[in-house]
Amino acid sequence: QMSSSPLSKKRRVSGSEPPTGSSRAPAPAVSPSVTPANGMAKNGAEAEIDEGLYSRQLYVLGHEAMKRMQTSNVLLSGLRGLGVEVAKNLVLGGVKSVTLHDPHPAAWADLASQ
């Protein structure tokens, strides 16, 4: 049986699961409004920017630039060692999607560039 990927973990709502070994009945599940993990809305809807998560970027870039970033689709071609770091920073920056393309196989020299 395959275990679930760490990327597919779901947010746990407090009180929705009893502790292990508990004899009490589980509390009814509440369906809270959960924001995506990156703080941005999905499916092109007008999004609220998570000011706690992106406070430093908001200070430097401003709200308008952050709204443009959250709707941006990025293609990154030719990764090598540096491209992997660039891809990570794009994802953490809050862009809508990142597509990676690297026609070359990974090499030992790529590991040293991070």
Q: Distance between CA atoms of 108 and 83, rounded to whole angstroms?
A: 15
Q: Is residue 91 part of a domain?
A: yes
Would 19 be classed as within a structural domain? Answer: no
Q: How far is CA 33 from CA 13, 41, 55, 75, in A?
A: 11, 11, 22, 31
Would you state the pLDDT for residue 89? 92
Q: Is residue 32 predicted with pLDDT exceeding 50? A: no
24-28, 55-59, 88-92: range with lowest mean pLDDT: 24-28
Structural domain contains residue 65? no
Computed over every residue of the chain, the mean pLDDT equals 73
Query: Above 60 in pLDDT, residue 112?
Result: yes
Name 16's Cβ contacts closer than 8 Å, sequence gap at least 6: 26, 27, 29, 30
- Whole-model pTM: value is 0.53
98 falls within a domain: yes
82 domain-assigned: yes
> Please, is 22 exposed, middle or buried when counting C-beta atoms within 10 Å of its C-beta (0-12, 13-18, 19+)?
exposed
Residue 41 located in a structural domain: no
pLDDT in tens, 40-60: 445 555 668 888 888 888 888
Structural domain count, the chain: 1
pLDDT band for position 76 (50/70/90)?
Answer: very high
How high is the pLDDT of residue 29? 46
Rounded to whole angstroms, the Cα distance separating 113 from 5 reads: 27
Identify the top-confidence range among 20-24, 55-59, 93-97. Answer: 93-97
Asked whether residue 19 carries a pLDDT value surpassing 70, the answer given is no
Query: Quick check: is 80 in a domain?
Result: yes
Is 93 part of any domain?
yes
What range defines the domain where residue 85 resides? 76-104
Q: How far is CA 13 from the centre of its chain?
A: 19
